[in-house]
Structure 1
Amino acid sequence: MRLLKFFWWSCVAVFCGLLLSLSGAYLYLSPGLPSVDSLRRIQLQIPLRIYSSDAKLIAEFGEMRRTPIRFADIPPNFIKALLSAEDDNFANHYGVDLSSLMRAATQLLKSGGQIQSGGSTITMQVAKNFFLTNERSFSRKINEILLALQIERELSKDEILELYVNKIYLGNRAYGIEAAAQVYYGKPMHDLSLGQMAMIAGLPKAPSRFNPLVNPQRSKERRDWILGRMYKLGKIDQGQYQTALAEPIDASYHVPTPEVQAPYIAEMARAEMVGRYGSEAYTEGFHVTTTVPSNLQEAANEAVRSGLISYDQRHGYRGPESRLPGMTREAWQAELAKQKTQNGIEPAFVTQVLKSGIMVLTRSGQEETVAWDSMKWARPFLNTNSLGPRPQKPDDVVQVGDLIRVLRQPDGNLAFSQIPAAQGALVSLDPKNGAIRALVGGFSFEQSNYNRATQAKRQPGSSFKPFIYSAALDKGYTAATLVNDAPIVFADDNLDQVWRPKNDTNTFLGPIRLREALYKSRNLVSIRLLQAIGIDYALDYVSRFGFNKQDLPRNLSMALGTANLAPVEIAGGWSTFANGGYKIQPYLIQSIHSRNGDPLYIANPPSAPGENDDQPATVVDPAALAENIPAPASTVPTPAVAERIVDARTTYILTSMLQDVIKRGTGRRALAMGRGDIAGKTGTTNESKDSWFSGFNADYMTTVWTGFDQPESLGSHEFGGTVALPIWMSYMSAALKDKPEHMLPEPPGLLTLRIDPVSGRAASPGTPNAYFEVFKNEDSPPPMNELDPGTSAPGSPLPADDAAPIDLF
């Protein structure tokens, strides 16, 4: 009896000691424990996602790949697999499983004090993952147990599981089971098979050790063990068990695949989001919708790629990127692995040279044929203006061991190619409000993420002339005003320099109407026109279009487009001509939504009023607009009317003049589009270092630039009409396909008169070769007999006195 009493009281003492120890530990540690209630408000890190205006994924940014999933959407078979692997008593315990803890304690004793396993339940893992570190210590374990008990008191089992499956790390930057399903199988969780679910359920224990991409055999062993546990616990029947066991380990690495190739758009949106939200842009799960429709962006991609390749092949083959003859197939394959595919142009090694073409080894390890017909363009490049002899057979072009480039054709065959040396940019806007509809910043983002559409400041050449003509039309000159297209010399006595501007053809046409001068792009007329209206007036006027006055040269060379401007600036300025005279600002982000779908920002740009508006909409004070400030959609005010900066009659007349550039001027190639509603202007700088075309109808304003990053000549026979215009045509033909012709209606205050082509004045009856011209009411020219000879008026010739030089510098 004494022995029994001793044993009894010893047990009581041990129990009381343990109770006192736990109580003391609780009293000591509990003040420092975080509030479990915060789990209800937890914000898991979710990457930034950028979408097109038609909801197609453009890009995803963020270190953690995560797509939270609700408990109701978790497949039941996955829950069974997870609990079988991690915590088969989850439904019955209260956060701590005593049997698991005892097993862990036994392992601890056997190992001489080394912690082997923690005996953790799923609830304890939630406590550790959200509140604690991975430190292996007794104090951390006690905190984990105390937190698990609190979590079980305050959260339901479903809530605990939902937190767990969305938080856990599962390898390859995948956080949460939905992200893991996408990374390993490229499909959502509910589409996985039982075997695939069991594989993912085996990852929490050791994401690297049981990773199916790194250790497929160990991953299979872990999966099969979990399936066996499920069968043993009665969670699946024998048929399901055997079927799942027979499944191969077919996991492969899947990254979020953009549905739209728009890397320059993605980078612009990312930079703007970081500017707004800082580092939280990458973790708060923002859903950004851009103004770019996927079909227009794809059309722009193809237009720039095809246009630059076409230009590049006109100037010959520059030779292989490297030459490695006599190497093994394995060595070639290793070298190919170092090369990047750029905008679809793949690296390949020449393995055989045949009469009918060549055989090449591609990065996929396959040998494929490149037909001779696709190589006939490859005359040797000598310099920008010279080519070698036309090749007669494949070995005139390549040798075995040459590292070349090939381009996959729509039919699957390969064509001989090379990466273009020249670059290009395209910007397309909605001229009514400045929404960017397509943007390409270079041939290949993989080659260079330098965005030439927004960052490259280049001289626009003659594509800048419409701004000077608009200034003149707003000052009283007309499309019929005669200007002398004749040689002119300007001297600067201080610098002892002489400037002799000339036309690109080095010819002179004498007195010529402004309309004709614009569509024939006569440089000397533009200079005389700027001289007549005055540089100060022109600078003030042109800066209205959104150009920084400091970027505009304060001399007559401005008339020839010597300012350094980015394509997006040119497109924004030209939009004023397309929208009837209103200033717009290009913008990219249409809306920003939170992870929960709540609107945080809705773009509300000042816009040109509708064509059928009798009165402008009520103008909202710009200070009241949510510019750059998050605002729910319900609070977005009525769009403000953009500022009018040009008379609508001026833009109408100028548009008709720019339409003549297409009909009979330097843009005649665009007649092939078969549309009567397009207007535009070419631009080519000295020595053809920059090639431009800007053009529009009432729906789209598009600017294209081409040139070399380090300015050099595109070639003596290359102009805006040969390099930039074909790209513009390709894009605009796709953008306007199946769309009716759309031109702004004629504004009031205009009249049409028959004009004498010799004098530029109203024609008398019977005047030979008289033509019709559009004028503002107040600027219509008088008849011949109402103006004395030698008098200058807006409708008459500008003075042609070249005796007085003007200082340019």
Structure 2
Amino acid sequence: MNFEKKSTKKKQEAINSAPKKRNKKVGVTLIKVFAFSILLIGIIGIATGLGIVKAIIDSAPPLDLDDVNPEGYATMIYNQEGLEVQKLHGDDANRIYAQLDQIPKHMQDAVVAIEDERFWNHNGIDIQGIFRAIYRNIKSGDITGSGASTLTQQIIKNNVLSTEKKFERKIQEQYLAIQLEKEIDKKQILELYLNTSPFGRGTLGVQAAANAYFNKDISQLTIAEAATIAAITQRPTYYDPVVNPENNKDRQRIVLKKMLEQNYISQAQYDTALAEEVYAHIQIINQDIGLQSDYSYFVDEVIREVLEDLKVQKGYSESEAFNLIYRGGLSIYMTQDLAMQAIVDEVYTKEDYFPPASEMYAVRVMYTVSVLMSDGTTKHHYDESEFSTKEKADAHIETLKAEWAKEGDEIIAEKSLFIPQPQSAMVIMDYHNGHVKAIAGGRGEKIGNQTFNRATQAKRQPGSTFKIVAAYLPAIDTMGYTLGTAIDDVPFTVSTGGGSYSPKNWYNHQAFNYRGLTPLRTAIKDSMNICAVKTLYDIGPQTGFDYLINLGFTTLVDTELVDGKTFTDKNLALALGGITHGVTPLELTAAYGAIANNGVYIEPVFYTKVLNHKGEILLEKEPITRTVMKETTSFLLTSAMQSVITGGTGTLANFKSMPIAGKTGTTQDDVDLLLTAYTPYYVATVWMGYDQPKTMNYSFSYHSVIWRDVMQRIHEDLPYKDFPRPSGIVSASICTESGKLAVGGLCDHDPRGSTIVSEYFASGTVPTESCDVHIKATICESSGLFATEYCPADTKKEKIFIQRPEPLVPANWDSRNPPRIADHQYELPDSMVGEYCNIHGPAFEVPVVELPSETDFDPLDFPENEESEE
């Protein structure tokens, strides 16, 4: 055996292992130090956290049982001068207190099932629910997502706490909830919740909600109706069963499902409730239930805007924001001008401003009835129809009653709402600051609060008003177009994905249905369809779409897939206002306000600031502002749209005491009528149409007269002033047929009269080329062909013709119905091209034809034409 070799090997191994042992000891030491550090940091963190929590708890307000059932502070709304306009009652004015034993068990159970399923077992906070909410929020990636507030916490949150710091409030809320559970029992807490929680439309508590939505005492509610009310409280506006019945229905089903799962109702009761039709007969009533009916459309919109800003800017839930508005003692300062609003209201109450009752529908009636059948069941019926007179509507209702309530049946509730037709809306805004000054949300009696506001919520097709904002504005702003650019109004067809698109003009005279070469100013003045579509085709629908988005339109569709079909508003129909969902009068007003405001868009606002009940600023409204076009573009469009009012489609809106610029809009089949126009002071829009879209066969532009009479009275005492002219605007004399520099002796000798006008241009866009549309030719009257040197002098005559930049293509026309193009007769006839007099001696190859010369005419020295627009 070689022991010496083995010994040497062991020594080597020992030597090699020594560093490893030392390294292992160092590693263990480092792990211990790291673990100790983590533990120490954890202890410090926990201690700090506990200290923070203790400080938050110590700063919590003392729990007073009177606080959890408060009278509340009334919110006051003031106009722009600081005068009190409206008082929003959040106390007993819209709450009817009901003892718990007066509230049916299924109403109690519905609320517990959807809001706090472990209510009867927890001590004020739901630990299981908290962990579930944390897991759900982490999984969704929303660490600021919803928590797990119990009914007790919600009482504290709605009635005791008002801090905007979400984390601090949550800790205090949980602490005070535990304290409240020690002070009163579960039944008292449930009673408080059912009487102090907001259930939409200004109602507080389930009794007021039962009256508001079903015209019933709380004791009469069915399971389905109770679930409908319970579905509201989380988000009172979103789940409003009147305005958003589909949203409420979805949540009502969840409520019923939870009631079934938690054994509050049987399967049979669940099936019956699920099948019950509650939405057809939900009624908005104006009775002594505290549901205010005297809020104007303007106040309604202020409340909506403040509610949204409290949620978005301050982090309130909808329920918290609702509670604060109606019970928080806020001071809300509106932008409304009461004098302007009074003028609008007066006009909208006069029947003379609207089409007379005729064979067209003049009234829309919504009739709801609940019938107690002879077998003890209750059936609800709803009908919506339109009639030429109220008498015919009344007769229709009597017929329905006889049909729905037979002998032995009893009508236990009914409601009729008569809404005059056609309807109308108006918005007036100061475009210098975005302040909305007055609105009309509709005509006829306002049937309740937070009802449909046509000025801010009606999405209707904008028609020809979009020609400006979708086509001409971007074309002038970035694509090199000018007010003199000549567009050929002739048949136009473009291929689309599944076929072709051929727009038509609104005019169809016996003499013509196309006008031919037309300057952009005239295309705007006379609202010419094909010119607008060709312009959008040239600049690209994407460009027009992008400008519209920047102008504040929120309803446009980029790409939308519905039932396997793809919808988009990025197409040529955009130029004529043919869009998927329509736009509101408010957004249209703001977009035109940007043109009036030297190219600066300002978001429309209905209030300026909100103070809390201590007088501290809670919200301060700073409108969104952005530049959306060049100043020169806004001036040029304003100048062109002045032509609309002075001599185009909007002349009925004109009044002489102030310059006006605007654009009319009429949709296909005269379904919607619009006028959006502005002065150096204000911009306003008037819309008119049926609530259920249908053709209006009226030859008189009632909407334009409404705009004129309202705005004329508003401007009576305002000093006259012109629209400002920015630097960078110059004038030049051009030919309207070519859009190029006019040529003396040609353009002023057009057989229709001179085509020379003085036009405005942005610096750098004045044309540098001379008119190439007009040509002068010497004709032999004997032959009707080009004259030659052999033609006697007395047979020669100089004539001016036009020569299109792009020749017409008659081969593409419908031979059965060829287009009638107004300027086609002034073109050099095809039969003359290359043909010379064959009567007086041999024909020559070169006719006597004069083309314009660059030196023939200096446009800047040419006297301004009488027809030029200033």
SS in 2 for 1:457: coil
Counterpart of 1:599 in structure 2 is 617
CA apart distance, 1:316? 6.9
CA deviations 1:238-289 (Å, max 9, x no partner) are: xxxxxxxxxxxxxxx999999x976222222223333413422211111111
Counterpart of 2:551 in structure 1 is 545
CA apart distance, 1:743? 3.4
Q: Is the 8 A contact 2:362 2:420 kept in 1?
A: no
SS in 2 for 1:301: helix
* Among 744, 754, 771, the residue aligned to 2:723: 744
* Among 268, 272, 296, the residue aligned to 1:263: 296
User: Which AA in structure 1 matches 2:693?
Assistant: P
CA apart distance, 1:646? 0.4
- The verdict on how the C-alpha distance between 1:691 and 1:589 changes in structure 2, with shifts beyond 3 A counting, is same
Q: Is the 8 A contact 1:691 1:706 kept in 2?
A: yes
Counterpart CA distance in 1 for 2:494 and 2:505 is 12
- The verdict on how the C-alpha distance between 1:554 and 1:318 changes in structure 2, with shifts beyond 3 A counting, is closer
User: Which AA in structure 2 matches 1:58?
Assistant: Q
* Among 584, 592, 603, the residue aligned to 1:574: 592
SS in 2 for 1:516: helix
Q: Is the 8 A contact 1:284 1:595 kept in 2?
A: yes
Counterpart CA distance in 2 for 1:644 and 1:421 is 39
User: Which AA in structure 2 matches 1:437?
Assistant: K
Counterpart of 1:501 in structure 2 is 504
Say how many residue pairs are matched: 464
2:664 matches 1:713 = no
Question: Mapping of 1:659-808 within 5 angstroms?
Answer: 659-671=642-654, 673-715=655-697, 717=699, 722-765=701-744, 767-768=747-748, 769=754, 770-784=756-770
Q: Is the 8 A contact 2:732 2:760 kept in 1?
A: yes
Counterpart CA distance in 2 for 1:787 and 1:490 is 25
Counterpart CA distance in 1 for 2:729 and 2:772 is 21
CA apart distance, 1:464? 1.2
Counterpart CA distance in 1 for 2:522 and 2:630 is 22
Counterpart of 1:464 in structure 2 is 466
SS in 2 for 1:311: coil
User: Which AA in structure 2 matches 1:64?
Assistant: D
- The verdict on how the C-alpha distance between 1:307 and 1:733 changes in structure 2, with shifts beyond 3 A counting, is farther
Counterpart CA distance in 1 for 2:62 and 2:498 is 78
Which protein has greater RCO, CA pairs closer than 8 Å, 6+ apart? 1
SS in 1 for 2:339: helix
**Structure 1: which 5+ runs fail to align?**
1-33, 67-129, 131-142, 144-172, 174-252, 323-379, 383-396, 405-417, 607-641, 790-795
Counterpart of 2:815 in structure 1 is none
CA apart distance, 1:783? 4.4
* Among 316, 328, 345, the residue aligned to 1:301: 345
- The verdict on how the C-alpha distance between 1:797 and 1:273 changes in structure 2, with shifts beyond 3 A counting, is farther
CA apart distance, 1:419? 5.6
CA apart distance, 1:595? 2.4
CA apart distance, 1:753? 1.1
2:90 matches 1:62 = yes
CA deviations 1:502-547 (Å, max 9, x no partner) are: 3343621110111011110110111111111122222222321112
CA deviations 1:319-363 (Å, max 9, x no partner) are: 9999xxxxxxxxxxxxxxxxxxxxxxxxxxxxxxxxxxxxxxxxx
Question: Mapping of 1:120-135 within 5 angstroms?
Answer: none
Choose 51-60 or 574-583, whichever is displaced more: 51-60
Question: Mapping of 1:146-225 within 5 angstroms?
Answer: none
Counterpart of 2:638 in structure 1 is 655
Q: Is the 8 A contact 2:489 2:518 kept in 1?
A: yes
Counterpart of 1:530 in structure 2 is 536
User: Which AA in structure 2 matches 1:62?
Assistant: G
* Among 476, 483, 488, the residue aligned to 1:473: 476
- The verdict on how the C-alpha distance between 1:403 and 1:557 changes in structure 2, with shifts beyond 3 A counting, is closer
User: Which AA in structure 1 matches 2:420?
Assistant: P
CA apart distance, 1:709? 1.3
2:487 matches 1:483 = yes
* Among 559, 567, 572, the residue aligned to 2:575: 559
Q: What percent of counterpart residues are identical?
A: 27
SS in 1 for 2:557: helix
- The verdict on how the C-alpha distance between 1:582 and 1:36 changes in structure 2, with shifts beyond 3 A counting, is closer
Counterpart CA distance in 1 for 2:531 and 2:63 is 78
User: Which AA in structure 2 matches 1:693?
Assistant: L
In the superposition, the TM-score normalised over structure 1's length comes to: 0.51
Q: Is the 8 A contact 2:76 2:84 kept in 1?
A: no
Q: Is the 8 A contact 1:48 1:285 kept in 2?
A: yes
CA apart distance, 1:747? 0.7
2:601 matches 1:583 = yes
Q: Is the 8 A contact 1:304 1:426 kept in 2?
A: no
Q: Is the 8 A contact 2:361 2:421 kept in 1?
A: no
SS in 2 for 1:583: strand
- The verdict on how the C-alpha distance between 1:570 and 1:318 changes in structure 2, with shifts beyond 3 A counting, is closer
CA apart distance, 1:425? 1.2
SS in 1 for 2:354: helix
Counterpart CA distance in 1 for 2:295 and 2:436 is 12
Counterpart CA distance in 1 for 2:80 and 2:333 is 6
CA apart distance, 1:710? 1.1
User: Which AA in structure 2 matches 1:774?
Assistant: Y
User: Which AA in structure 1 matches 2:727?
Assistant: P
CA apart distance, 1:428? 1.3
CA deviations 1:748-796 (Å, max 9, x no partner) are: 111111122333222245652322100011110124179999xxxxxx9
Counterpart CA distance in 1 for 2:772 and 2:348 is 54
Question: Mapping of 1:230-269 within 5 angstroms?
Answer: 263-269=296-302
SS in 1 for 2:697: coil
SS in 2 for 1:763: coil
In the superposition, the TM-score normalised over structure 2's length comes to: 0.48
CA deviations 1:190-222 (Å, max 9, x no partner) are: xxxxxxxxxxxxxxxxxxxxxxxxxxxxxxxxx
Q: Is the 8 A contact 2:330 2:610 kept in 1?
A: yes
SS in 1 for 2:426: strand
Q: Is the 8 A contact 2:486 2:736 kept in 1?
A: no
2:95 matches 1:51 = no
Counterpart of 2:207 in structure 1 is none
- The verdict on how the C-alpha distance between 1:599 and 1:319 changes in structure 2, with shifts beyond 3 A counting, is closer
SS in 1 for 2:601: coil
Question: Mapping of 1:286-365 within 5 angstroms?
Answer: 286-306=330-350, 310-313=354-357
CA apart distance, 1:420? 2.3
- The verdict on how the C-alpha distance between 1:802 and 1:577 changes in structure 2, with shifts beyond 3 A counting, is farther
- The verdict on how the C-alpha distance between 1:476 and 1:256 changes in structure 2, with shifts beyond 3 A counting, is same
CA deviations 1:35-64 (Å, max 9, x no partner) are: 799999998511223232232413524233
- The verdict on how the C-alpha distance between 1:462 and 1:804 changes in structure 2, with shifts beyond 3 A counting, is farther
CA apart distance, 1:802? 7.5
Counterpart CA distance in 2 for 1:261 and 1:37 is 34
Counterpart of 2:197 in structure 1 is none
- The verdict on how the C-alpha distance between 1:745 and 1:562 changes in structure 2, with shifts beyond 3 A counting, is same
Q: Is the 8 A contact 1:577 1:651 kept in 2?
A: yes
Question: Mapping of 1:3-152 within 5 angstroms?
Answer: 45-54=72-81, 55-65=83-93
User: Which AA in structure 2 matches 1:665?
Assistant: G
**Structure 2: which 5+ runs fail to align?**
1-60, 95-159, 161-182, 184-201, 203-286, 311-320, 367-386, 398-417, 559-567, 749-753, 776-802, 813-870
* Structure 1 ranges of 4+ moved more than 4 A: 34-44, 253-258, 314-322, 401-404, 785-789, 796-805
User: Which AA in structure 1 matches 2:505?
Assistant: K
SS in 1 for 2:599: coil
RMSD (CA atoms): 4.4
- The verdict on how the C-alpha distance between 1:516 and 1:312 changes in structure 2, with shifts beyond 3 A counting, is same
